[in-house]
Structure 1
Amino acid sequence: MPHIDYYFTTVSPYAYLVGTRLEEIAQRRGVTVTYKPFDLVSAFPRTGGVPLPERHPARVEYRAEELPRQARKLGMEFNLKPAHWPVNPAPSAYAIIAAQKAGGGDVGLLVQKLMAACWVEERDISQDEVIKDCLAASDFDPSLADSGLLAGAEIYSQNLEEAVSKGVFGSPFFIVDTGQKFFGQDRLEDLDAHLAGNL
C-alpha cells in the first residue's frame, strides 16, 4: 500500500490550511499516512530557513496577504494574528505522537483540532487542558497528554533528525514512498495526481 510521511509543525498556518484534504486524498487513493510533527525552528538553520521575525519585510508583508487569501480560497476560517502565537509546539506534538502510537482515535482529526484551536479559536495549544480537549474530541484518551510525554519527546527529536536528513525544510511537507517530495498546502493537488499515476 502506498504511504505518505507527513512532516509538519502544529504552529504552522500553512499546515493548518491543509485542513481535511490530506485525509481525503489518502482515502481516495488507498494510502496510509504517518504524522511526523517536528521542530521546524530548529530545522531552519540547518536547511536554509529563517524564522518569521528575521525575514525581510517584503516576505512578511507577502505572507500577511497570502495566508488570508488562501484561507478564503479554501473556505476556512483563519486569524492571521492569533492571541497565542508563537507558542511552544512541543506539547501538542507529543500528544499527536502518543495518540498515533496508541491508536483507536482519528489522528488526522486531532491534528486539525489542534491547529484550529490555534488559528481560529484563540486557544493556547501548549496548555494541557486545550490538548486534552482536542484528544477527547478526536476519540483519544485525554490522559495521553500526560502518559505520552517521554516517548513523545524522544520521537519528536527523532522526527527532526529524520526530516533534515530527508531534505524537509518547511511545513507542511509530504514524502511519498516513491521518494517524491511535495512542499506546501498548495501542492496537495500535485500529490493527489502523483498518487493517481498522472504526475
Structure 2
Amino acid sequence: MSRTVDYYLAPHSPWTYLGHARFVQIARETGAQVNVKPIDLARVFPVSGGLPLAKRPPQRQAYRLVELKRFSQHLGVPLNPQPRHFPVASDDAARLIAETADAKGAGAALRLAGAILAAVWAEERDIADTAVLADLLAAQGLPAALLEASRKPGVQARYDAFTQEAIDLGVFGAPTYVIDGELFWGQDRLDFVERRLRG
C-alpha cells in the first residue's frame, strides 16, 4: 500500500532545491503519492522562531554558505550559494506551482518546481519576472494559460491555506515532508523519508 507525502516547499529555498530531485526519485521508486504544497516562509518564520536570512547573526549566515557548498558538492547538484537574484519574491512562483498541481497534477507541479528552483540556484534567473516563469512553463511543455490562472483569488486562497496548514502542523522551514502526520524537516532527512515510505 502506497503512502502519501505532503511536500511543503518554498520555490526560493536552496535546501528545497538541493533535495528536490532526490525526493522526486524516492517518491517515484516507492510509489508514494505527493501533495505539492508551496508555503510562504515569510508567514511561517515569525510564528516558529525563524528569521529571514538578512536578520540572522553573521556566524549563521557564514556557516549557511559553507553548508550550501558542502551539500552541493556531496550531492553533485550545481548551486551558486550567492545567486544574482536572491533574495527574491517567490509568491508568484509559488502560486504557479499550486495552480499547476491543481490543473495538471502532482507530476507536472514537481517538474515545474524543479525548474523554478534550478532557475534561482543554478541558472541566475529571476523567478519574480513573469517572462522567466513563462519560459519555465514552456520548457516543461505546460500551457502558458497557467500563468494567468495562477493570479486568480482562488489560487491565493489555496496558497494561504497551505501556509496555515503548515503552521498548524508545526512546520517551521522548507522543505518539510509529512507522512502520516510525522514531520521530516530538511533535505538531509531524506534517508528517513525513504525508510518511512518503504515501511
Name the aligned partner's letter for residue 59 of structure 2.
Answer: A
Cross-structure match for 1:48: 49
Secondary structure of the structure 1 residue equivalent to 2:178:
strand
The one-character-per-residue Cα deviations of 1:103-146 (angstroms, maximum 9, x if unpaired) are 16622111110011111111110111111111122221122111
Cross-structure match for 1:11: 12
Secondary structure of the structure 1 residue equivalent to 2:74:
helix
Q: Distance in 2 between matches of 1:179 and 1:155?
A: 20
Match of 1:142 among 144, 149, 157: 144
Alpha-carbon contact 1:93-1:152 (below 8 Å) kept: no
Which residues of structure 1 form unaligned runs of 5+?
none
Alpha-carbon contact 1:118-1:125 (below 8 Å) kept: yes
Q: Distance in 2 between matches of 1:94 and 1:133?
A: 16
Cross-structure match for 2:30: 29
Cross-structure match for 1:173: 176
Cross-structure match for 2:125: 123
Alpha-carbon contact 1:20-1:112 (below 8 Å) kept: yes
Cross-structure match for 1:99: 100
Runs of 4+ in 1 over 2 A off after TM superposition: none
Q: Distance in 2 between matches of 1:147 and 1:106?
A: 15
Secondary structure of the structure 2 residue equivalent to 1:97:
helix
Secondary structure of the structure 1 residue equivalent to 2:20:
coil
What TM-score do you get using the length of structure 2 for normalisation? 0.94
Secondary structure of the structure 2 residue equivalent to 1:194:
helix
The one-character-per-residue Cα deviations of 1:130-185 (angstroms, maximum 9, x if unpaired) are 11111122221122111221232111111111110011000100001x22110000
Secondary structure of the structure 2 residue equivalent to 1:20:
helix
1:85 positional shift = 0.8
Which residues of structure 2 form unaligned runs of 5+?
none
Structure with more of its chain in helix, by fraction: 2
Q: Which moved more, 1:144-153 or 1:183-192?
A: 144-153
1:30 positional shift = 1.2
RMSD of aligned Cα (Å): 1.2
Alpha-carbon contact 1:132-1:143 (below 8 Å) kept: no
Q: Distance in 1 between matches of 2:142 and 2:136?
A: 9
Cross-structure match for 2:166: 163
The one-character-per-residue Cα deviations of 1:52-71 (angstroms, maximum 9, x if unpaired) are 11111111111010001101
Alpha-carbon contact 2:20-2:114 (below 8 Å) kept: yes
Q: Which moved more, 1:124-133 or 1:163-172?
A: 124-133
Aligned residues: percent identity? 38
Name the aligned partner's letter for residue 142 of structure 1.
Answer: A
Q: Which moved more, 1:137-146 or 1:178-187?
A: 137-146
Alpha-carbon contact 1:82-1:122 (below 8 Å) kept: yes
Secondary structure of the structure 2 residue equivalent to 1:106:
helix
What TM-score do you get using the length of structure 1 for normalisation? 0.94
Q: Does 1:67 align with 2:80?
A: no
